[in-house]
Amino acid sequence: MTLRRLRELKEPEALRLLAWSFLTILKAECLLRAISLPALLRRFGRGSSCTVTHRETTLGLGGGSLDRIRRYSNFIATDLLRSRRPCLLRCLVLYRYCRKGDIPVSIHFGVRQGSNGLEGHSWVSLHGEPLFDTEKMLETYTTVYAFPEDGQNGDPRRFLAIAGRRS
């Protein structure tokens, strides 16, 4: 994190978004070990009308907060936790944050052939347009699952078929 970014943490809203991102990543890491990905996405996809035990529903979407959520979750996943799957954690945080604000985003999972086998990536989109990823970057990936399901790629077993495994 740069000095300029550290200075922005003096703002209570920025500090709250950083803490919320950190707690959401920890929750995602725990839940990914305990429940299926579709179950996790259903849980994270509940809108602000659901009952929550803390102040998630008060998170506002103005003032660049979505970009802050992206930057903070990326910092936490890559620099603090040294995760091997930072895009997954970042996207889960973005997906949850947007859904809590009743923004109808989708989360996508894709694969491509890499030098050592398949490589995976995830991204969040709004009305079919990726947030914080470019179309050019994503064109090399084959979408294997999207949530909410759109009927075209709703079977998570499709990934296993592309990977050459049987479900």
The tens digit of pLDDT for each residue in 116-142 reads 899 999 999 998 889 888 888 899 999
- pLDDT tens digit string along 65-78? 888 999 999 999 99
* Predicted structure pTM score: 0.76
Pick from 36, 35, 52, 150: which is nearest to 99 by CA? 52
Residues sharing a CB contact under 8 Å with residue 26, sequence separation 6 or more, in sequence order: none
CA distances from 94 to 28, 48, 115, 140 (A): 12, 15, 29, 22
Where do the structural domains in the chain lie, given as residue ranges? 1-103, 104-167
Angle between helices 12-34 and 37-44 (to 10 degrees): 150
Cα 109 to Cα 3, 41, 116, 154, distances in angstroms? 33, 12, 19, 11
Q: What percent of the chain has pLDDT over 70?
A: 75
Quote the distance between the C-alpha of residue 114 and its chain's center.
22
